[in-house]
Structure 1
C-alpha cells in the first residue's frame, strides 16, 4: 500500500510560466470574479468572470463546449462561432483560462455562455495551477469520524481507509470517473451500494448536475469471486472508448469483496497499463500479498494481523463510505448488520452493535435476513447489469417500496429454497472418515441449469440442514460440478480451503487447481478431465 497518496501524480500541470498573475487579473476589465461553487440558479442571466482548467472539450453540431474546473466545481462553457465550427481552436484540454461568461440554463443544468475566453500563459498559469492544487488537496482531505462501532480491527485499518477515502474524493474533484466492482452476492452488493450512496452526491455537487452521476460513476457486479481478466478488459475497453469519444480520464477502480488474491493481480496490472488506479476492500484470505504494491490502498483485516471472518466487505465499505462522505443522511447505517449476517461473520459483539443501529432505522434482524435473501436472488437474475434504480429499492430507497418487494418475493424464494433442499437431500451422499462426515452432492445431476438456489447457496443450505437438524458437528459439505467444487465446513472439521488447494496442486499439479475464500468456506476450479482424481484426493485430504 502506498503510504502517501501522490497528489501531483494525479494532477495536470504546466512547467513553463512567466508574468504577474495578479497584475494580469487587475488589468483586464471584466465582470465580477467568482468561483464556480458560488454560481447557482438564482444567478441565471448574470455575468461573471471565472478562472479554470480546461478539463474536456466537446465539439457539437452547434457550439463548442469547454468544461472547466477551478477546484471548487465544474462548469460547462458554451462558445459559438458557427454551426459545428471549433471556437477558440488554440485552447484545449490542460490549458488554464479566464472566461467572461453569462449564466444560462440548458436542459435544467447551468452553463456559462462565453463572451470572451483568454488562455493563461507561463507564470499566470503556474500561479493558477498552484492555487488549484491547494484547493483540491484541501477539499479532498479526510477528517476521520468515529466508526459506527468500537473495534480494534477498524482502528488498525483506519489509516488505510483515510488514504482510500482521500483518493476517492480527489478523483471526484478532478472529474475522474470511478468504477466500483463487487462480488455478486448480498455482501458484495452491500459493499458496492454503500460506496455508491456516498460517492454519487459528491459527483452531483462537483458538476452541479444529476446527469453527471451517470457519466462519472459505474457500479458493476463480478460473477466470479475475483477480479477476472475478463472484467478488467471490459472496464478498460469502456474507459478507453469514453476517453476517445468524450475526453474522459481513465478511472479510479474500487474492487470490493474480492481483489486480494494472486488471481486478481493480472486484472489489476492490465488496468494499470492503461492508466487506471486501484483500491481494494476485501476480507478474504490470501496466500501472499501480491496486490498492495499495485494499489493506492488495500483494506483487508488479514493485512493488519486480523481475521477477515470478523468483518465482511459490506461492513468495511460502509465505514469507508462514511469517511468519503460524512453526511449522516446517506441511509447506509443498516447495511453492516445485513452484510455481516448474510456473510456469517464471526464477530458477535460487532454484529450486536450494528443490529442496534439497524433497529433505530426500523429494521429487525428477521427483516434484514429477508432483504438479504431477496438481494441474493435478484443478483442472480441481474447478472452483469448495474440496475441502479432497482438496487436502490432493494436497499430501502424508499423503504415502503422495499418492504412491499420483500414481502412479495421472500416467500417465493423461501419456497424455492425448500424445494431445493428436498432435492439435495434425496441426491446427497454421506461418507464417514473417522469422526468427520463428508457430505457430497453432484450439482449438475441434481438441479437443472439456472435453478435457484445457485450452487454456492444450495451447498450452504444443505450444510446448515445437516449441521443443525441432523446434529453433524464435524462436517464438510461439497457441491461438485464438472470443473469446480463449492465447499462448506464446520469449525470442528479443522478444514482449510487454502491448505486443500496447496495439497491438490502438490499431489495433482496437472489439474491446475485454483480458488479461494475463507478457511471454512470457498470454492476451487480445476481441469474438467481431472474431476474424479481431484475428488479422490479431496477425500484423502479430509481423511488425514
Structure 2
C-alpha cells in the first residue's frame, strides 16, 4: 500500500490520491503514450513549433501537441525555444497514440506541491529507486546478503568486480570520445559522438554503451584468451591469411541510396547524400532535414540531451550521412552514425543532381485549361511559370505561403492550390506533419497585400529562419497583389530576396508587372465581351498544372467561384462532376459565410470538408444560415436606401454606419453587392455605401474606381480622397469631410457614365 505524498491518504499502488492529481508534476519515464494519465501535469521538453501549435517531448518516443487553441496567449508570443523544459497537462491520448496537451500556468517545480517520477511499473519520489518484484528483488537481497557476509568475514567492504570496473572505464572512455568527437584523418567528417537511441533521443544525459562497443570489448577479451599458434599450425596460418580479406570487405564504401527508397529499408544501414534544408534542436538529438533529388528525410544526430550536434553544419550545406533507418513516431528517420560535410567536387555533384532533378520535375508538361477556357489558355505561359515556381519550392523544401482575399472567390482559389500542393508535399517529405510545416494559407481581410499583411509575413518568416533554420518561403498571392495599393507590401518582401508569384483574374496595374517576379494577369484585350474571368476559375487551372492528379477534384470549383452569371462551360463542367446549380450555390454561400468568421484563419479542414468531402448536409446547413443572415440585413438596408438621379444616372445611397451591422455578417462589400443586384435597373445605375471614412461604389457600367477617386479629390480637395481597393470599389477619405466626399463621388460617377 502506498500513501499520498500530499495528504498521506492510502492510495494502493500509487503515490498521490485522486483529489491531488493536479497538484503534482510528473517526470514521465515510460515508453508508451498509453501509460500517460489524463489531467496530470508533466514535465516536457520543447521539440519544435508548427503553424498550429508546439510539439513537446514527454519522454523519448513520446511526444504530444500543445495546440494553439490551448494557449493563453498568441503562439508567436511564446518565448519557448526548442530544448527548453516546460510543464504541460495531458488532456488525453487518442487511439492512434497522438497525445493532446493543455496549457499549464505553472512553469516551475516550486509551483507544484510535489514531484513524482512515473515509470511504466509505477510511481516513486525522485530520490527513490523504483521497486521491482519477483526475481529481481530476490537477486538484490541475495547480493546484499553476500556483500554483508563478505564484509563480516574479511573485515572490509567488498571490492568492485573486475567486470564492473571495466564497464566503468569503458564508459569513461566513451564520455571522453563524446566530448572530443575526433574524425578519421583525411576526411572532413563530423562524427556522431554517440550512437543515438533508436527513438532518436535518450532517457538522460548519460551516454549509453553501444552494441558496437560491447562487441569490441568481447572481441578484445577473446583475442587475449586465444593461444599463440606455432609455425607448424596450418589452420592458424590459413586464418591469419584470411583476416586481411575480411578487413578489406568491411572497409568497402557503401553505395549511396536515394531518400525515396528509405521506407523499404527500415532497420538497415544506408548512405545518403543531399543538402541540409532544415535544422532543429530537440530535447534529445539534433535533427537535420536532408533533401536529395528524390525527397527529404530527418537525420537524428546525438551528442548529449538538448546539445547541438555538428554546429558547423548549416542549412544549405551538402552532406553525406551514414546511418541506420528507423521508424520514429510513425515517420522514417535516419539515425546518424557519421556525417560528412562535403565540399569541392563532392558538394558540386550533390547540388548538380538536385538542380537537374528540379529542372526536370518542376516544369509541368503543359497547361490544359479547365472547360477549355480560351481566356485562360491565353495566359498559359504565365501559368506554367507560376506552376513551376510552386513545384520547385516543394522540391527545394521551401515553405509556401498562399495569400488570398477572405471572400468566396478567394477561398475557392486558395483551396484549389491547397488541394494540388498538399499531396506533393506528402510525397516529398517523410514526416507525416510536413504539410503543416511547408504549406500555409493566410486569408486577407481585403484584396490588397498591404504593409500590415507584409509586415506580419516578414516577421514570421524571419522568426522561422532564425529559430528553426527554415528557408525563406515562396509567396503566392491569388486575387491580391496586382494593384499599386500592394506595391509597398511586395517591396518589403523583395528587400529579403523573397520570391513572390501573383495570380489575378483582373487586369494588373502596369507598375505591378515590373515589381513582381512572376505575374499572371490578363491584358485588357484578353477579356472579351462583358464576361469576366474569376480568380477561382483561373487558379483552378493553375492548380491542375501544379498537380494533374488533383484535376478531377477541381472541376466544380470555377462555377462555385462566380457569385452570379457563371459561364455556361463552367456550369456544365460542375454538373459533369456531380454538382448541379443548387449544390453549387450552397457551396458558394457556405464558403462565403465561413470566410467571414475568423477571417484571418485558413480553416483548412472545414473548407476542405465543404468543397471536397461533404455529402451535402454541412453545406446545406451553413448556406441556410447565410441566406437568413443576408436576407435580414438586406431588408434593413433596403428600407433605408435614399435614391436620387444625377445627370441621367440613378443612384441608391446607403448610410452603412447607420443601417448595417458593421461587425456581424454580412460584411459591407457583400451586402452592397447583393443590394446592387436587386436594385440595378437599366444601364445607368449606381449603388454607393457611405461610412465614417470609407465608401464603396457599385455601377452597372465599366467605371474606373481610381478615376472616380481622382475626380472626387479635385471636387473635395480637403478630404484626402484616395483609392483603398480597386477590386472592391473602396475609397477612403477624412471623416470630417464625409458629406463633401459623398457629393463629390456621386458627381464623379455621373461624369464617368
Structure 2 counterparts to residues 94-133 of structure 1, below 5 A: 94-133=316-355
Aligned to 1:508: 716
Of 723, 735, 740, the residue aligned with 1:533 is 740
Take 2:310 and 2:706, find their aligned partners in 1: how far apart are those partners? Answer: 61
Alignment of 1:451 onto 2:652: no
Aligned to 2:410: 188
Take 1:531 and 1:132, find their aligned partners in 2: how far apart are those partners? Answer: 59
Alpha carbons 2:420, 2:550 under 8 Å: kept: no
Q: CA distance change for structure 1 residues 29 and 506 in 2, over 3 Å: closer, same or farther?
A: farther
Secondary structure of the residue that 1:318 maps to in structure 2?
Answer: helix
Structure 2 counterparts to residues 123-202 of structure 1, below 5 A: 123-202=345-424
Take 1:355 and 1:231, find their aligned partners in 2: how far apart are those partners? Answer: 34
Alignment of 1:464 onto 2:677: yes
Aligned to 2:642: 429
Structure 1 residues 102-126: Cα deviation after superposition (integer angstroms, max 9, x where no partner): 1101111100011222222312222
Take 2:748 and 2:250, find their aligned partners in 1: how far apart are those partners? Answer: 82
Take 2:388 and 2:420, find their aligned partners in 1: how far apart are those partners? Answer: 13
Of 406, 420, 423, the residue aligned with 2:633 is 420
Take 1:543 and 1:86, find their aligned partners in 2: how far apart are those partners? Answer: 69
Aligned to 2:225: none
Q: CA distance change for structure 1 residues 363 and 187 in 2, over 3 Å: closer, same or farther?
A: same
Alignment of 1:225 onto 2:447: yes
Take 1:223 and 1:28, find their aligned partners in 2: how far apart are those partners? Answer: 62
Aligned to 1:479: 689
Aligned to 2:500: 278
Alpha carbons 1:164, 1:296 under 8 Å: kept: no
Alpha carbons 2:275, 2:319 under 8 Å: kept: yes
Take 1:70 and 1:119, find their aligned partners in 2: how far apart are those partners? Answer: 15
Q: CA distance change for structure 1 residues 370 and 65 in 2, over 3 Å: closer, same or farther?
A: same
Aligned to 1:38: 261
Aligned to 1:365: 581
Aligned to 1:204: 426
Alpha carbons 1:32, 1:47 under 8 Å: kept: no
Aligned to 2:130: none
Take 1:271 and 1:201, find their aligned partners in 2: how far apart are those partners? Answer: 27
Secondary structure of the residue that 1:136 maps to in structure 2?
Answer: helix
Alignment root-mean-square deviation, CA: 2.3
Aligned to 2:570: 354
Structure 2 counterparts to residues 223-372 of structure 1, below 5 A: 223-286=445-508, 288-302=509-523, 305-306=526-527, 310-328=532-550, 331-339=553-561, 341-342=562-563, 344=564, 351-372=567-588
Structure 1 residues 209-252: Cα deviation after superposition (integer angstroms, max 9, x where no partner): 33011111110110022011101110110111111111001111
Aligned to 2:592: 376
More off after superposition, 89-98 vs 232-241: 89-98
**Displacement after TM superposition at 1:434 (Å):** 4.1
Take 2:300 and 2:748, find their aligned partners in 1: how far apart are those partners? Answer: 69
**Displacement after TM superposition at 1:328 (Å):** 4.0
Alpha carbons 2:393, 2:399 under 8 Å: kept: yes
Aligned to 2:62: none
Secondary structure of the residue that 1:291 maps to in structure 2?
Answer: helix
Aligned to 2:601: 385
**Displacement after TM superposition at 1:321 (Å):** 0.7
Structure 1 residues 246-303: Cα deviation after superposition (integer angstroms, max 9, x where no partner): 10011110111111111101000111112321010112345x4112223221111136
TM-score, normalised by the number of residues in structure 2: 0.64
**Displacement after TM superposition at 1:150 (Å):** 2.5
Alpha carbons 1:65, 1:77 under 8 Å: kept: yes
Secondary structure of the residue that 2:687 maps to in structure 1?
Answer: strand
Count of residues in Structure 1 that have an aligned counterpart in Structure 2: 503
Q: CA distance change for structure 1 residues 481 and 62 in 2, over 3 Å: closer, same or farther?
A: same
User: For the pair shown, which has the larger CA radius of gyration, 1 or 2?
Assistant: 2
Take 1:309 and 1:246, find their aligned partners in 2: how far apart are those partners? Answer: 47
Secondary structure of the residue that 1:310 maps to in structure 2?
Answer: coil
Aligned to 1:5: none
**Structure 1: unaligned runs, 5 residues or longer:** 1-18, 20-25
More off after superposition, 86-95 vs 52-61: 86-95
Take 2:438 and 2:657, find their aligned partners in 1: how far apart are those partners? Answer: 41
Secondary structure of the residue that 2:738 maps to in structure 1?
Answer: helix
Secondary structure of the residue that 2:686 maps to in structure 1?
Answer: strand
Q: CA distance change for structure 1 residues 522 and 101 in 2, over 3 Å: closer, same or farther?
A: same
Take 2:717 and 2:394, find their aligned partners in 1: how far apart are those partners? Answer: 46
Take 1:65 and 1:304, find their aligned partners in 2: how far apart are those partners? Answer: 53
Higher helix share: 1
More off after superposition, 426-435 vs 238-247: 426-435
More off after superposition, 215-224 vs 294-303: 294-303
Take 2:504 and 2:551, find their aligned partners in 1: how far apart are those partners? Answer: 25
Alpha carbons 1:182, 1:256 under 8 Å: kept: yes
Alpha carbons 1:72, 1:206 under 8 Å: kept: yes
Aligned to 1:91: 313
**Displacement after TM superposition at 1:373 (Å):** 1.2
**Displacement after TM superposition at 1:160 (Å):** 0.5
Secondary structure of the residue that 1:149 maps to in structure 2?
Answer: helix
**Displacement after TM superposition at 1:423 (Å):** 0.9
Take 1:463 and 1:68, find their aligned partners in 2: how far apart are those partners? Answer: 55
Secondary structure of the residue that 1:66 maps to in structure 2?
Answer: strand
Structure 1 residues 27-47: Cα deviation after superposition (integer angstroms, max 9, x where no partner): 97344421111221x321122
Take 1:176 and 1:248, find their aligned partners in 2: how far apart are those partners? Answer: 8
Alpha carbons 1:258, 1:283 under 8 Å: kept: no
**Displacement after TM superposition at 1:483 (Å):** 1.2
Alpha carbons 2:378, 2:526 under 8 Å: kept: no
More off after superposition, 118-127 vs 260-269: 118-127
Secondary structure of the residue that 2:272 maps to in structure 1?
Answer: strand
Aligned to 1:29: 252
Secondary structure of the residue that 1:533 maps to in structure 2?
Answer: helix
Aligned to 1:69: 291
1 or 2 for the larger relative contact order (CA 8 Å, sep ≥6)? 1
